[in-house]
Structure 1
Amino acid sequence: MSAPSRRSLLRNLGNALLAGLIGLIGLIGNLPAAAQDAPQRSITLVVPFTAGGGVDAMARLLAERLRVTLKQPVVVDNRPGASGMLGAGAVARAAGDGHTLLLGSAGETAIAPLVHQGRMPYQPSRDLAPLTLVARVPNVLVASPGLPAGNIDELVRLAKASPGKLGYATSGVGNPQHLNGELLQSLAGIRLNHVPYRGAANQLVDVSSGVVELAFVSYAGAAPFIKSGRVKALAVTSAQRASFAPGIAAIAESTGLASYDLDNWFGLFAPASTPPAVQARLHAAVVNALKDPALAQRLRELGGEPAPMSQQQFRDFIAAETARYAAIVTSARIVAE
């Protein structure tokens, strides 16, 4: 073989090897993308509240549907403490690989930065990626059976006659229920005494016995007390009556309170470092689960109104809600202890 022929052969062989190498590199480069088809193992769904409550029940329903959709086990991990911030902080620090999620509420993902004023182990807007709203959860204002007020108009008249004498219980300072009370006072021009508790069960027991006159609580927790007559439901905090309790009026139906609308809500979050493709897959799985009529009905029975949305819509929703919370926190000068 002549020298030119050998050079041509070597050149062609080199080109073929180079092309093969480039193809191999491309294949290897695609492996992370394939690996991003997460989740590929068990998923942990962190709930920053105690087991056995309405939020826990909601999480377990969602976990079961995600297990079917994603074909991976979904384990609910209850991490209560620090008004939900303990669990939320754990997810904020977790690896962004699609295997750790948070079922978070308005409290630890939107209100906490406003009332803790930077004294937090995480920043929701920086450390958590919103996936979708799961449900809006109106609170309900309940009263002692002996309180001479059966609706909000009567309560307002009673409160104006005795400023600062009536107490309302919540599960802590700077949570959604506390803001419910502050907004009612602001719009109605009344003064109530805030009585923070550590849990809803104790609040309801004390309201039923008259230790404290009022409480803003979740419907899921209050329902047994309402149905048994141990407390009376005055109104829900949503703009309209809740589908799961149509017999209970909305605060907004009362005289001069048409603008009252302040629900709690729960959404799904991932660590901010989670790749967009993984976020998109998780979002699609949750939205698909929430479209199941049986799941939607169970959520309503737990006091939630299913409200899935796109990631951008959820981000916009959080921003709008945070602005509303900020106005209440500033006006009432709420600072967490």
Structure 2
Amino acid sequence: MFHFRRQFLLSTLSIATGLAVSTHAHAQEFPNKTITIVVPFSAGGGVDTIARLLAEKLRGTLKQNVIVDNKAGGSGMIGANAVVKATPDGYTLLLGSAGETAINAFVYKNKMQYNPAKDLAPITLVTRIPNVLVASPTLPVKNIEELVAYGKKNPGKLAYSTSGVGNPQHLNGELLEELAGIHMVHIPYKGASGQLVDVVSGNVDMTFVSFTAAKAFIKDGKVKAIAVTSAKRTSFAPEIPAIAEYKPLAKYQLENWFGLFAPAGTPDAVLQKLNAAVTHAIKDPDLAKRLQDQGGEPAPMSTQQFRDFIKTESVQFQRIVETANITAE
């Protein structure tokens, strides 16, 4: 009996040691082939642009080819699901936005084919993307305080456009309604172009949109920049105040963000190697500047910090979605 137990323990130890050595060896040799960053949106958009900028830097850092693969559709969920199903070895990654990794689970619920909290392994936050609230030149307000006052005097009259239902722009509007105690009408569009054009023409009062999309309209005076949705002013447009600067809305903060993920089950040593490589790339002044040009604030984190960040963000997203009773179309 003793001999059997001794052999069992030795066998178990041998297996555990073998697994540890195998994992360590895999991490040491990683990467030894092409890495694919899946972008769950069409080419040419904000996520795609940032993925290609990141891939360019990672090629030099990791000494391997890094390519971008666009898998658009399903509010980002088709691409995310493809990564979830990929081999968890670090060679198939997702550059995901807040939508498909932290919001959609509350909007689409059982319509989703994956659970982002369980099926994706966070690597690092890459950049935070505040939206900017811009208003039509015909709207008689010039700052957030006047906008709130106008909304209170005209309940249900203010209309705001976004690029869809249940995305960060929509949640921006719902959070403003909640904290300001006003009622607005949400008009979802399919893309930033239409939602901005109708604000320029005065058909819609205002919109929440990325600074990159709105920059030319602001510069030409076709829309008025009211405020940004980050807690503080941004580095790329410091002249635009934050909504939170208005004291009654001091708790206002809601941004989109892009982060890098791997399939759950990817060895931690590989995740850490990727985290170090991405962090090194993002801290490069050239890439940091190019991310800012895209309306983003570079924000690398450790894997644990990113996990904690997603949990905190998810709590706010869930509360807003459930309070506003937002459901998938």
TM above 0.5, one fold?
A: yes
Per the alignment, residue 3 of structure 2 pairs with: none
Per the alignment, residue 238 of structure 1 pairs with: 230
Find out whether 1:158 has 2:158 as its counterpart: no
Say which of 197, 201, 224 aligns to 2:193.
Answer: 201
Give how far 1:333 is off: 1.2
Deviates more, 1:133-142 or 1:222-231: 222-231
For 2:156 and 2:85, the matched residues in 1 are separated by 43
User: Aligned with 1:256: secondary structure?
Assistant: helix
Per the alignment, residue 268 of structure 1 pairs with: 260
Kept in 1, the 8 Å contact 2:23–2:267? The answer is: no
Give how far 1:329 is off: 1.3
Q: What aligned pairs does 1:109-124 form with structure 2 within 5 A after superposition?
A: 109-124=101-116
Say which of 71, 85, 100 aligns to 1:108.
Answer: 100
Per-residue deviation, residues 204-232 of structure 1 (Å, max 9, x unmatched): 11111122111111111111111122212
Give how far 1:140 is off: 0.5
For 1:63 and 1:102, the matched residues in 2 are separated by 12
Say which of 27, 38, 59 aligns to 1:67.
Answer: 59
For 2:270 and 2:242, the matched residues in 1 are separated by 39
Per the alignment, residue 211 of structure 1 pairs with: 203
Find out whether 1:253 has 2:241 as its counterpart: no
For 2:252 and 2:307, the matched residues in 1 are separated by 23
Stretches of structure 2 that go unaligned for 5 or more consecutive residues are 1-16
Give how far 1:186 is off: 0.5
For 1:211 and 1:133, the matched residues in 2 are separated by 37
Q: 1:28 to 1:252 in 2, by over 3 A?
A: closer
Per the alignment, residue 34 of structure 1 pairs with: 25
For 1:290 and 1:281, the matched residues in 2 are separated by 14
For 2:20 and 2:181, the matched residues in 1 are separated by 64
In the TM superposition, structure 1's runs of 4+ consecutive aligned residues that sit over 6 Å from their partners are 26-29
Q: 1:106 to 1:32 in 2, by over 3 A?
A: closer
Q: What aligned pairs does 1:273-312 form with structure 2 within 5 A after superposition?
A: 273-312=265-304
Q: What aligned pairs does 1:75-154 form with structure 2 within 5 A after superposition?
A: 75-154=67-146
Per-residue deviation, residues 37-67 of structure 1 (Å, max 9, x unmatched): 3221111111112221222221111111111
Q: 1:67 to 1:233 in 2, by over 3 A?
A: same
User: Aligned with 1:90: secondary structure?
Assistant: helix
Q: 1:28 to 1:237 in 2, by over 3 A?
A: closer
Per the alignment, residue 17 of structure 1 pairs with: none
Q: 1:287 to 1:159 in 2, by over 3 A?
A: same
User: Aligned with 2:31: secondary structure?
Assistant: coil
Kept in 2, the 8 Å contact 1:51–1:78? The answer is: yes
Give 1:311's aligned amino acid: T
For 1:27 and 1:122, the matched residues in 2 are separated by 32
- TM-score with structure 1 length normalisation? 0.89
Give 1:208's aligned amino acid: V
Per the alignment, residue 13 of structure 2 pairs with: none
Q: 1:187 to 1:314 in 2, by over 3 A?
A: same
User: Aligned with 2:114: secondary structure?
Assistant: coil
For 1:79 and 1:133, the matched residues in 2 are separated by 20
**How many residues end up aligned between the 2 structures?**
313
The percentage of counterpart residues that share the same residue type is 62
Find out whether 1:50 has 2:42 as its counterpart: yes
Kept in 1, the 8 Å contact 2:47–2:97? The answer is: no
Per the alignment, residue 316 of structure 2 pairs with: 324
Cα root mean square deviation, aligned: 1.8
Kept in 2, the 8 Å contact 1:128–1:272? The answer is: yes
Q: 1:27 to 1:86 in 2, by over 3 A?
A: closer
For 1:161 and 1:98, the matched residues in 2 are separated by 54
Give 2:134's aligned amino acid: V
Kept in 2, the 8 Å contact 1:53–1:221? The answer is: no
For 1:156 and 1:284, the matched residues in 2 are separated by 44
User: Aligned with 1:103: secondary structure?
Assistant: strand
Per-residue deviation, residues 7-31 of structure 1 (Å, max 9, x unmatched): xxxxxxxxxxxxxxxxxxx999956
Q: 1:29 to 1:213 in 2, by over 3 A?
A: closer
